[in-house]
Structure 1
Amino acid sequence: MTDTLDLLALYLPLAAPLVAASAAAVLPWRAAAWAGVAAAAGILGAGVGLATTVHSGPAVTGGLLRADPLTAFMLVVIGAVATIACWAGVHHLADESAAGTATPATARRYLILVQLFLAAMSLAVLADNLGLLWVAVEATTIVTAFLVGHRRSRASVEAAWKYVVLCSVGIGVAFLGTVCVYAAAVAAGGDGDPSALDWTYLTGHATALDPDLVRLATGLLLVGFGTKAGLAPMHAWLPDAHSQAPAPVSALMSGVLLSVAFYAIWRYKAITDAVLGPGYTRTLLLVAALTSLTVAAILLISQRDYKRMLAYSSIEHMGLVALGTATGSRLAMAAVLLHVLGHGLGKAVAFCGAGQLLHLSGSSRIAAIRGLAGRHPALAGAFGLAVAALLGLPPFSLFASELGIARAGLAAGQGWAVAAAFALVLVAFAAIARHGAAMLLGAPDPAPAGAPVTAPARPRAMAIVPLAVGLAAATALGVSLGPLHDLLLAATDTIVQGR
């Protein structure tokens, strides 16, 4: 009975969004949108269900799929962020429908693509075969390209093309890295073995892999998957894509997709560290981390668009994830995983709140949003608290995760990198705080003389509910890990010990 339930939990993250996508093709869009919320909750439930089995027992396997503690943790991240984003997406589509910018056909297409996006990300973290992992990450590029260009405006289409070109180049580089790993596996005796690219096979035969091939593969894989993770200098697609995509899609891309790309890096790091030692990968990740933090800090200072501000904040947080991954200790990786979940929740609320701001104001310019706290206090509270969470203020979990990354770096003798990184984080903190304060507390611009007086638009009251739920989860995570504690430690051991 237990085995049957485990297999159901293993396949549910793929089946639920595919069923919801099929439902979106035939049901009215409102019913299909709520089916999408149920599918996202199903992914979360599957992650929790698998966590109860694998955190202290063997991995659950079935065909090409495999779930260990790291997989279960990532499914919890995907499910939690997707539930908030899909829930907010119901109200987003209602706003677009009321404004006449969405038809039943466009809403149906949007809902189908979002569910395919969730299925592709779930497949990426469930795949035991690293070739299948690459296919799943490439599938996310194809699906999200249509979501970025959903509005079909000139700016959104340009952003979609830029996203496709840059991420396809990056994924192509990652493919070359995957081929190099396969060549090393074949040279180590895996010729003719269909499992030669399985993560379990590679970790078990790591000492027999050719160091030169693995060294080449490591550089290619970090560049390739680092492009998809938004690490500088391969980040150029991210601000445009995040600023043009519908707000719930931006929440998924920033809160989950970047972390799924980093998941691929963690899987490969367990192999490359066993072959080359941690020094080579650490150096590459430190360079990527400090470069990303530098780019984000500089561009946040002069930012004029609040959706792009949140996008550059994602680059900053991925830089911190790279910094913790470079350290690679148990404390560092536990902090990194906590950071991934906390960032996903905070960014989901922030982007979905930004979508409501865009609907109310008709502009994504920071200067167009003034005195939000006085005009829309509930929305201002949700957006302001989400920004506070992303700034790493207590009681939100990013405070604890950033402190853990810093402590781990200092303990590992990387004080210079930690000092440089958090100096840049301080610059980014000041820039985001300044922009956020201007939006929340600034005096609204006076109406032009002779302009007609109209009643201000109001956000939907129910649209605040998913934002409040996301903030409550982020706060609870900062106060106590609760039942996630054991899963977090087991997922950390999966990365650090490669088991």
Structure 2
Amino acid sequence: MTASLVTAPIVVPLLSAAGYAVFGWNRRTAWLGAVAAAGLLVGAALLAAGTRGGAVLAALGLLRADALSAYMLIVIGVVALPAMLAGPAYLAAEAAAGHVSPAAARRYGMLTQMFLAAMALAVLAANLGLVWVAVEATTIVTAFLVGHRHTREATEAAWKYVVICSVGIGLALLGVVLVYFAALHAGLSEAQGLDLAMLTERATGLDPGVTRLAVLLLVLGFGTKAGLAPMHAWLPDAHSQAPAPVSALMSGVLLSVAFYAILRVKVIADQALGPDFARVLLVVAALGSLAVAAALLLAQRDYKRLLAYSSIEHMGLLALGAAVGDALALAAVLLHVLGHGLAKSVLFLGAGHIQHAVGSSRISALGGLLARAPLLGGTFGLGLLALLGLPPFSLFASELGIARAGFPSGLGWAVVVAFTLMLVIVAAVGRHARLMLLGPAPAVAAEPGIRVPRAVAGSLVAALAVCVLLGVTTAPLDGLLRSAAAIATGAAP
């Protein structure tokens, strides 16, 4: 029973992928992805209940679920459900425009489900090597999704994504090898050399010099996939060219899955080297990412790239919270992961509908969105407010938590610098938002309104409602958040 519970979040999307492979994409199979995402979310909730009180569930010797894994699975499921609900409408619009063939639709269905399975494997892997394999698998799968439309821009973005992320993943692989080397010399067996639990337990015996180099490579490698500076260059191109539901998944949850890997590495690093080494790396990455995002958002002219650059900002905030490293900061980091995923799913799915209707992703083509499409404009505007961390959305509470934890930890100066950069970002995004939502409509605007399917509209409203609820109270997740934060600090096994 335990094995089934742990493996279900991986197996369910794979079964859905097999369904698309056998039956293709049609009216009967179009909702398989949404059913699989709902199944993954239910499995995550069951795992959260099963890991209550610090319990750990294992399966097959390679999978391990604790409160942190269960929380990340909930994030994957919560972001995947609206993205999969939007899939049929997205493909219908692409087919009507002549951009998608039946074979391409089948491939889209298979790849999105394999993407979900790979992310679930990454957070359930008990072995650092398997985490690396799962993160690399997401690169391979999403490369085909980024280039889904086969335009010159999409193909270029896919290649850029593959090249930069492959460099990062190569660095992470070298870090994994060095960790294994240090573990063997610390007396761990070959079977235990990459086991996350054993590495944490025996971290004090790891060679400091080798471990320091390994942690640097792992943070750089997984940080590339998380979109942290200086290895962030792939992110705006890939997110702007991928199908809207895929962009929602990549920005809303894939970046956070890669950051989850960094959190697991940080626990080992803190035990082996003390907290200062990882703290310095993460503070540099955090402030660098926020500075890059602030500079690039000021002159941005494309609303999908604007959302992508915003992801760099939020990954920087996660790095800052992880650098602080206490229970409050890490609980805020985990809450931020969920709030960011909800906001980005709303914004990228909305951006997809806007682009299909307007025919452009230029900010200048989007004037008067609130008047032309009140529902879509309203949800898009509220999503931007959530993304900027304004109350009552959960990102306000999580950013406040990171700031509160930062000053007593001695990183008050970094918090001040970070929030100063965020004021620049708020001003830049606010200016763009005013033009998109309230500015004059372009003279070529063909339609007074933009139709949004009921399933998509309902999921956008629901995601915003959950984001508001978590900003008011985290009661539904309090126990899970505390347990997950304790694991991320290294205070719990």
State the TM-score, normalized to the length of structure 2.
0.97
Counterpart amino acid of 2:204?
T
Question: Match of 1:66, SS?
Answer: strand
Matches of 2:399 and 2:430, distance apart in 1: 17
One of 144, 153, 161 as aligned partner of 2:159? 161
* Contact kept in structure 2, 1:251 and 1:348, CA below 8 Å: yes
| Mapping for residues 100-499 of structure 1, pairs under 5 Å | 100-191=98-189, 193-447=190-444, 455-456=447-448, 458-462=450-454, 463-496=456-489, 497=491, 499=493
2:89 counterpart letter in structure 1? H
Does the residue aligned with 1:25 lie in a helix, a strand or coil?
helix
Q: 1:454 to 1:352 in 2, by over 3 A?
A: closer
* Cα offset, 1:454, TM superposition: 5.6
- Residue of 29, 35, 56 corresponding to 1:59: 56
Write the letter of the residue equivalent to 2:139.
T
1:103 Cα deviation after fit: 2.1
Q: Does residue 18 in structure 1 map to residue 14 in structure 2?
A: yes
Measure how far apart 1:98 and its partner are. 2.7
User: Secondary structure of 2:85's match?
Assistant: helix
- Per the TM alignment, residue 42 of structure 1 is displaced from its structure 2 partner at its CA by 1.2
Percent of aligned positions that are identical: 60
Change (3 A) 1:376 1:197: same
**Offset, 1:445:** 2.2
- Output the amino acid matched with 2:470: L
Contact 1:288 1:319 in 2 (8 A): yes
Tell me which amino acid in the other structure corresponds to 1:487: L
Residue 41 (structure 1) shift: 1.0
Counterpart check, 1:43 vs 2:43:
no
- Unaligned regions of 5+ residues in structure 1, if any? 448-452
Return the letter of the residue paired with 1:83: L
Deviations 1:312-341 (A, max 9, x none): 000000000000000001110000000000
C-alpha distance in 1 between matches for 2:328 and 2:449: 47
Q: 1:455 to 1:265 in 2, by over 3 A?
A: closer
Question: Are 2:89 and 2:453, in contact at CA under 8 Å, matched by a contact in 1?
Answer: no
Cα displacement (A) at 1:471: 1.0
On the 8 A contact 1:339/1:401 being kept in 2, the answer is yes
Aligned counterpart, 1:450: none
Following superposition, the deviation at residue 473 of structure 1 comes to: 1.5
Distance in 2, matches of 1:323 and 1:333, equals 10
SS in 2 for 1:190: coil
- Structure 1 segments, 4+ long, off by >4 Å, are 453-457
Do the aligned partners of residues 454 and 230 (structure 1) sit closer, same or farther apart at CA in structure 2, a change above 3 Å counting?
closer
Amino acid at match of 1:13: P
Deviation of the 1:455 alpha carbon: 4.9
Alignment length (residue pairs): 489
- CA distance in 1: counterparts of 2:203 and 2:346, whole angstroms: 41
Q: Is the 8 A contact 1:32 1:111 kept in 2?
A: no
Residue identity opposite 2:167 in structure 1: V
Q: Give the Å deviation of 1:415.
A: 1.4
Secondary structure of the 1:61 match is strand
**Aligned mates of 1:419, 1:458 — CA distance in 2:** 41
CA distance in 1, matches of 2:125, 2:263: 14
Instruction: Note if contact 2:54-2:67 (Cα within 8 Å) is conserved in structure 1.
Output: no
Q: What residue identity is the alignment partner of 2:463?
A: G
**Contact residue 318 and residue 333 of structure 2 kept, 8 A:** yes
Verify the 8 A CA contact 1:70 1:490 in the aligned structure 2.
yes
Residue 14 of structure 2 aligns to a residue whose secondary structure is helix
- Give the letter for the 1:363 counterpart: S
**1:107-155 residue CA offsets vs partner (Å, 9 max, x unmatched):** 1111100000000000000000110000000000000000000000000
- Please name the residue that 1:74 is paired with: 72
Amino acid at match of 1:243: S
Task: Compare 35-44 and 361-370 and name the one that shifted more.
Answer: 35-44
Work out whether residues 20 and 32 of structure 1, in 8 Å CA contact, stay in contact via their aligned partners in 2.
no
CA contact under 8 A between 1:337 and 1:488: conserved in structure 2? yes
For 1:27-85, what per-residue CA distance to the aligned partner results, in whole angstroms no more than 9, with x for missing partners? 34333231110111111111110111112142000111000000000000001000011
SS for the counterpart of 2:15 is helix
Q: TM-score, normalised by structure 1?
A: 0.96
The answer to whether the 8 Å contact 1:271/1:498 transfers is: no
C-alpha distance in 2 between matches for 1:200 and 1:389: 36
CA contact (8 A) 2:376 2:452 kept: no
Structure 2 stretches lacking a partner, 5+ long? none
**Residue 147 of structure 2 contacts residue 157 of structure 2 at CA under 8 Å; is this kept in 1?**
yes
Would the aligned equivalents of 2:84 and 2:245 in 1 still touch at CA under 8 Å? yes
